[in-house]
């Protein structure tokens, strides 16, 4: 990878932030600080609950544990720096800091795409092949799946980072965004992004398309299986197993597709910011709430944990 001196005279960027309206800066700071605190507390609480309660040591909660870890990490990569934009006259980030933020953001966001598809496959096996669930989703299977999730995240982040390394940034170092993301950085580039934009479209298309196809196929088979369940109670239980995951998937992939897979000419940057805000700030906050409030096992684990603390 080339150094800053080789590919750019810019040593730092200025992040424009979410809005230039001064009267909104302090209210937005406290709003998103509250979002971040809920995200941290919610995801770390879910991680702790799963770790402490042995009855949650199943493949489903193994993947949920990692989803919470990923949500916590990539929210932490983005939100603290965004909060600075509300209280700083100039929100400056170094070139190296910008590229580091971009890499880890891409690593975690792509990992989330594939962990959601792994969870869909787990639901498919749970409902469609319950008799062989233990063998199909054994630790010998789950660990390689998880390794594959993080390898895909690393590979995609490296691909985007390598493409970014060929760009030259000269006089224009103002990034019209609250974070270092691919498309806003393209706007700052002195070099043609003729090569980069097709790479972004193809790679992001794979990152969204492959997990989405896996999820749709899993849920098509699940729906077919549910329709063959005779009892109302059985159908209700099957739908309950999947409902939280469907909500999380819809929120995450919908906002990502809106940001990256639409031509930039049809998507003003302000709308891009809103879309990015949704899947980087709002979704990581909502995921632990969705999985906690709609999950009886998590509620039981929470009650047991709180009762143990009260007793001690």
pLDDT single digits (tens) 64-92: 999 999 999 989 999 998 998 888 878 88
Q: How confident is the model at residue 12 (pLDDT cuts 50, 70, 90)?
A: confident
CA-based nearest residue to 35, from 222, 288, 255 = 288
Supply the angle between the helices 22-52 and 296-311 in degrees, to the nearest 10. Answer: 80
Determine how many CB atoms are found less than 10 A away from the CB of residue 198: 10
DSSP H or E segment with residue 166: none
Least confident of 2-6, 43-47, 52-56, 225-229: 2-6
Note the pLDDT tens digit of each residue in 220-267.
888 888 777 666 766 666 666 666 667 777 777 676 666 555 555 545
Question: What pLDDT does 67 receive?
Answer: 93
pLDDT at position 172 over 70: no
pLDDT at position 43 over 90: yes
Per DSSP, the chain holds a count of helices (H) and strands (E) of 12, 3
E strands of the chain, at which residues?
12-15, 92-94, 174-175
Beta bridge partners of 12: 94
Determine how many CB atoms are found less than 10 A away from the CB of residue 33: 14
Question: What pLDDT does 310 receive?
Answer: 54
Question: What pLDDT does 246 receive?
Answer: 74
Mean pLDDT of 290-302: 72
Query: What SS3 state is found at 167?
Result: coil
Mean pLDDT of 116-138: 87
Alpha carbons 287 and 282: distance in angstroms, whole number: 9
CB within 8 A of 2, min separation 6: which ones?
165, 166
Which one is predicted more confidently, 147 or 170? 147
User: What superfamily would CATH give domain 12-296?
Assistant: Rhodopsin 7-helix transmembrane proteins (1.20.1070.10)
189 within 8 A of 170, measured Cβ to Cβ = no
pTM metric for this prediction: 0.84
Alpha carbons 96 and 1: distance in angstroms, whole number: 12
Least confident of 59-73, 95-109, 206-220, 223-237: 223-237
- Strand 12-15 and strand 92-94: the pairing is antiparallel
Determine how many CB atoms are found less than 10 A away from the CB of residue 270: 11
Q: How confident is the model at residue 37 (pLDDT cuts 50, 70, 90)?
A: very high
Domain boundaries, the chain: 12-296
Give the DSSP letter of residue 312.
Answer: -
CB within 8 A of 132, min separation 6: which ones?
125
CA-based nearest residue to 253, from 281, 273, 278 = 278
Question: What pLDDT does 2 receive?
Answer: 42
Structure tokens at 97: 């800091």
pLDDT at position 51 over 50: yes
């Amino acid at each position: 990878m080339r150094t800053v001196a080789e590919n750019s005279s810019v040593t730092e960027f200025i992040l424009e932030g979410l809005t230039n309206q001064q009267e909104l800066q302090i209210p937005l700071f406290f709003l998103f600080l509250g979002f971040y605190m809920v995200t941290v507390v919610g995801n770390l609480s879910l991680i702790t609950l799963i770790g402490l309660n042995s009855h949650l040591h199943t493949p489903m909660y193994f993947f949920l544990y990692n989803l919470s870890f990923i949500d916590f990490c990539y929210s932490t990569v983005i939100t603290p720096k965004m909060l600075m934009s509300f209280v700083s006259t100039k929100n400056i980030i170094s070139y190296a800091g910008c590229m580091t933020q971009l890499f880890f953001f891409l690593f975690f966001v792509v990992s989330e795409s594939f962990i959601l598809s792994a969870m869909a496959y787990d639901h498919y096996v749970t409902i469609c092949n319950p008799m062989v669930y233990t063998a199909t989703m054994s630790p010998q299977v789950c660990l390689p799946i998880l390794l594959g999730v993080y390898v895909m995240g690393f590979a995609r982040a490296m691909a985007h980072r390598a493409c970014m390394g060929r760009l030259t940034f000269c006089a224009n170092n103002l990034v019209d965004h609250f974070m270092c993301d691919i498309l806003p950085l393209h706007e700052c580039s002195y070099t043609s992004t003729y090569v980069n934009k097709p790479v972004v479209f193809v790679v992001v298309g794979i990152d969204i398309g492959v997990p989405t196809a896996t999820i749709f196929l899993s849920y098509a088979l699940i729906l077919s299986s549910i329709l063959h369940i005779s009892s109302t109670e059985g159908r209700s239980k099957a739908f309950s197993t999947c409902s939280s995951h469907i909500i999380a998937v819809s929120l995450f992939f919908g906002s990502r597709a809106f940001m990256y897979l639409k031509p930039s000419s049809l998507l003003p940057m302000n709308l891009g910011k809103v879309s990015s805000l949704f899947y980087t700030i709002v979704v990581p906050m909502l995921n632990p709430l969705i999985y906690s409030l709609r999950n009886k096992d998590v509620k039981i684990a929470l009650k047991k944990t709180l009762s143990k603390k009260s007793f001690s």
